[in-house]
Structure 1
Amino acid sequence: MHRPRRRAGTTAVLGVLLAGAALAATGPARASGAAPHTPVRAAPASGPAVTGHAYRFVGEKVAGGGRGSQAPEIGPGQYLDTIGPGETRWYAAELDASSAADLSATAVPRPGSAVASGDGLDLRLRRADEYAYTCGTAAARFGRDESAGLLTAAVSRIPGAGDSPTCDRKGRYLLSVTRVAGHGPARDRWPLELRMGTEGARQDRAASGPDGGPLPEDGLRPGGSRSGRAGGPRGGTAVPTGGGSGFNDARRIGPGEWRDEVLPARTRFYRIRLGWGQRLRYTVESGGPAGPDRPASPRVRASVYSPGRARVSGARGPEAQPDDRVLVAGGTVPVAWANRWDEQRSVASVRSSGDYYLAVSWESGAKPRTSAALPVVLRVSVLGEELAGPQQRAPAAAGSDAPETDSAKAGDTVPSAGRGFMIVAAALGAAGLVLATFAALAALRQRSAYEGPGVGR
């Protein structure tokens, strides 16, 4: 009478173990698609998310006001909205008297939609009082008729950076985002991703690099670099990688030589960590034989963005090159706290250690003539010894010579090769667990045959 119960119990145990084995086999595959760490409030599964240019949107839905008095409140994090031609959307933020704040907007037209020269975004940050004092402006434009890509503009409120203390005060600020329509008919609404980040103040206002601050040209001048890790070919072979669709899924890379492919009118994003005292240099080379699937002399563009998504620098390849290859190069100044008070935006944006973004695009005109991918090679150097902090005469950071390519530690997605290994290893472990379960059940049945029907009471 008791043997059927034992069979039911062992069957239930087997089912649980098999379910656990299945989860173990699929777990790494799910983890490999996890988003990189980003200070966001929510990640909705639907909405403007998902229609724009394969861009991976992340954020909480918000509806910008039609005027300043209707502006919804936003705080540190990311938000999703939409914006139409000629429209202005308003958002409000409470800022204290000492923290720096970065506010950015990224617009992503739908795939295949045309954009005209002059289409773009205007951002303005102002006080929400009766005087409406402007504290910062920024703009991003499509430079010529081309297939839709993405545009990003960012404004910053940095206490002590302006001539007037008005924008250093604690209080309510308004961000306006205006979609400027170029020379063309009205177009669809654009999905819009907003980001707000803040950075606390330091006691030492004069904190800077060991030399009292960088020279603006240091990041772009060839040669004369400070000691540190310089990227270069790894054994003469570029490492395959796959750039992300935008800031949220940008692929983490480090010093070295990397190989990827870029589709017409698309942009690939990569993230590179820079510590205090370090600067970035890069080159992007495209090439390969011209043919029916790829026009000769493609035009390549590369841009660097700060952790707050402000555009630091950009480079664009020439219209034509004799050897059918395009080479663009650029970089940043050394990361230093004192950069925030520099008048040049390309210097002022490089004021915080953290992830900087390299975006590589293939400009192919309003109607791409091919769907073939363009091979590109990225050569990345991180120059200068990382310092322990932003203060003057800061010592070298502990372990600053260690390679910075630990994607798992950085919260990045697992590379495809590693992902495959993890899945296979998990599957083998699951198979071993199943076999061990069957062996245990067989032993249990054999033991019950010796002990008789009274076992299990």
Structure 2
Amino acid sequence: MRGRWCTARERRAGAWRGRSSTAVRLGAVAVVLGTTAAVGPAPAARAAGDGAPAVTPSPYAFADGARTVEGARSTADAVRLTPGTVHRSSLPSSGKVNYRLVLDATSSAYVSVTAVPPPGSTVSVIDGLKVSVQDAEGNSCSSDTANFGAARSPHPIAAWGMREIAPTKSLCQKAGAYYVSVERADPEGSSPGAWDLELFATTEPPTAKTGATSAPRVWNSATPQPLQGEPERRRGGAGFARATPLDQGVWRDDIRPGQTLFYEVPVDWGQQLAVTADLGSSDSAGTGYASGALDLALYNPARGRAAVVSVGYDGDQNSGSLPPLPPVDHANRYGALAQVNAMRFAGSYYLVAHLARDVADTFGDGPFRMTLRVRVEGEPRSGPGYTEESRPEGVFDVSEQDREAAAEGVPAPGDDTAMRVIAVGGIGTGSALLVGLGVWTLVARRRSAA
């Protein structure tokens, strides 16, 4: 078994800060043991077996410990969001819901909102999520919209809002209250009913020196050849908080119609990311064409969308690449294009793959073979010199722990391979602990021998 259970997300939350690699691995066994009882059918499925009606589980894994808040119709009643903390809320079919940020006059702030339509719902091409930020005087600071697209397949989507401190801006530069408004882009033609929301607020501290006020004009914008090689298996997670780390390489996963998988790639200052997604041919006899069958989106460390590519499917293999992305640079924030503007800080970049639900109508339930070819070019360089810590801490950094997690991978929840360590019929807690320690020791010895 490959993998390490101490992820970049846990490090940023401070839960693993200061521990040795050995302690991390010992703690990992405890985590596995602690979650054994949760392996198996979802609670709704178990309840159904006792005579209760079956309930389809959520297609999205929300962050553990997320603080539940209620969006307010009026800004006067808006609940305050805490930067560095994940919040959970809901969005009604119509109208806005509002949240509040209290900001200083030196730090930039970002709020990413992930919307999760309920399973079985229908969505229109232009429906989606709109997120905007205003100051206390009603001035607009930013606005972003994410749509479901031509496939009309309901799945988790994210849009972000921001309050930027920049010498090129005159509005939204004061300290005080700011309001985050969330609404559906166009609910007409989509199923009524509330959507679940996950809100992630971050702050970016000022830099010691004033840098460039325009995006770099010269960078390699040529699309590189997709990385070749024998693919290695990595199973994607079911949410941003469960994203599976990847580093440069060729990665293979299975994806089913209607499923969304999450991965994260550490990209440091000065490094350039390129990703190609391949969808393998179908083993069914179905014929037809699914427009935008595979959707691959890239989100930055603040969960702001940077780029997207859609791959059509007719049953034969097909491939698509993200548009050329610049090297990560603090000055990219002054770029006009999203794929430049969003590549503004180092950290974990998220790849989110969704296979349209309608693919099953023609080509069956799958699973379908998906290959991600991830290339990270360039040597890491020093960052812009932040004067303070971000919130959450380390979100705009790449550490050695991040690189190690990406190289080794972290099993996603429900990964049968990971659970075989302790999921032996009737195994006791003490025996499971010994087995887990034995596995970690064996892995360490093999690495030393290598």
Give the one of 201, 205, 215 matched to 2:206. 201
Matched with 2:131 is 123
Instruction: From the superposition, tell whether residues 310 and 388 of structure 1 become closer, same or farther in structure 2 (CA, over 3 Å).
Output: same
**Aligned 8 A contact 1:53 1:111 in 2:** yes
AA in 1 matched with 2:244:
R
> After the TM superposition, which residues 25-424 of structure 1 pair with which residues of structure 2 at under 5 Å, given as runs?
27=30, 29-30=32-33, 53-58=58-63, 59-76=66-83, 77-129=85-137, 132-144=138-150, 146-160=152-166, 162-164=168-170, 166-184=171-189, 187-206=192-211, 214-215=216-217, 218=220, 221-223=222-224, 232-233=228-229, 237-292=230-285, 299-318=293-312, 320=314, 324-330=316-322, 332-365=325-358, 368-369=361-362, 370-390=364-384, 405-406=406-407, 417=417, 420-421=420-421
Deviations 1:127-161 (A, max 9, x none): 113xx110000111222362311221001221116
**Aligned 8 A contact 2:105 2:174 in 1:** yes
The alpha-carbon deviation at position 188 of structure 1 amounts to: 1.3
Structure-2 separation of matches of 1:265 and 1:326: 18
**Aligned 8 A contact 2:421 2:432 in 1:** no
Structure-1 separation of matches of 2:360 and 2:228: 36
Structure-1 separation of matches of 2:400 and 2:274: 21
Partner SS for 1:173:
strand
Instruction: From the superposition, tell whether residues 201 and 170 of structure 1 become closer, same or farther in structure 2 (CA, over 3 Å).
Output: same
Structure-2 separation of matches of 1:117 and 1:274: 32
Comparing 415-424 and 173-182, the one that deviates more: 415-424
The alpha-carbon deviation at position 104 of structure 1 amounts to: 1.4
**Aligned 8 A contact 1:306 1:355 in 2:** yes
The alpha-carbon deviation at position 102 of structure 1 amounts to: 0.7
AA in 2 matched with 1:63:
E
**Aligned 8 A contact 2:253 2:369 in 1:** yes
Deviations 1:338-371 (A, max 9, x none): 1123233322211111100011122243984532
TM-score, normalization by structure 1 = 0.71
Instruction: From the superposition, tell whether residues 272 and 31 of structure 1 become closer, same or farther in structure 2 (CA, over 3 Å).
Output: farther
Instruction: From the superposition, tell whether residues 327 and 168 of structure 1 become closer, same or farther in structure 2 (CA, over 3 Å).
Output: same
AA in 2 matched with 1:61:
T
Structure-2 separation of matches of 1:33 and 1:162: 53
AA in 1 matched with 2:179:
L
**Aligned 8 A contact 1:297 1:324 in 2:** no
Structure-1 separation of matches of 2:284 and 2:432: 51
Structure-1 separation of matches of 2:416 and 2:381: 33
Structure-2 separation of matches of 1:25 and 1:280: 30
Structure-2 separation of matches of 1:345 and 1:193: 22
Instruction: From the superposition, tell whether residues 417 and 65 of structure 1 become closer, same or farther in structure 2 (CA, over 3 Å).
Output: same
Matched with 2:395 is none
Instruction: From the superposition, tell whether residues 431 and 337 of structure 1 become closer, same or farther in structure 2 (CA, over 3 Å).
Output: closer
Task: Provide the aligned C-alpha RMSD in A.
Answer: 3.8
Deviations 1:81-120 (A, max 9, x none): 1111222101110111111111111110111211122221
Q: Which has the larger radius of gyration?
A: 1
Deviations 1:185-206 (A, max 9, x none): 6511111111111111111121
Structure-2 separation of matches of 1:57 and 1:175: 20
Instruction: From the superposition, tell whether residues 61 and 154 of structure 1 become closer, same or farther in structure 2 (CA, over 3 Å).
Output: same
Partner SS for 1:146:
coil
The alpha-carbon deviation at position 387 of structure 1 amounts to: 1.3
**Aligned 8 A contact 2:268 2:381 in 1:** yes
Partner SS for 1:63:
coil
AA in 1 matched with 2:148:
F
Deviations 1:194-244 (A, max 9, x none): 111111111112169xxx9644874x52249xxxxx9542xxx21111111
Partner SS for 2:129:
strand
AA in 2 matched with 1:62:
V
Unaligned stretches of 5+ residues in structure 1: 1-22, 35-49, 225-229, 392-396, 435-457
Identity of aligned residues (%): 26
The alpha-carbon deviation at position 52 of structure 1 amounts to: 6.4
Structure-2 separation of matches of 1:216 and 1:140: 29
AA in 2 matched with 1:378:
L
TM-score, normalization by structure 2 = 0.72
The alpha-carbon deviation at position 276 of structure 1 amounts to: 0.8
Instruction: From the superposition, tell whether residues 143 and 162 of structure 1 become closer, same or farther in structure 2 (CA, over 3 Å).
Output: farther
The alpha-carbon deviation at position 388 of structure 1 amounts to: 3.2
The alpha-carbon deviation at position 431 of structure 1 amounts to: 5.2
The alpha-carbon deviation at position 245 of structure 1 amounts to: 1.4
Instruction: From the superposition, tell whether residues 145 and 256 of structure 1 become closer, same or farther in structure 2 (CA, over 3 Å).
Output: closer
AA in 1 matched with 2:30:
G
Instruction: From the superposition, tell whether residues 277 and 81 of structure 1 become closer, same or farther in structure 2 (CA, over 3 Å).
Output: same
**Aligned 8 A contact 1:260 1:376 in 2:** yes
AA in 1 matched with 2:375:
S
Partner SS for 2:352:
strand
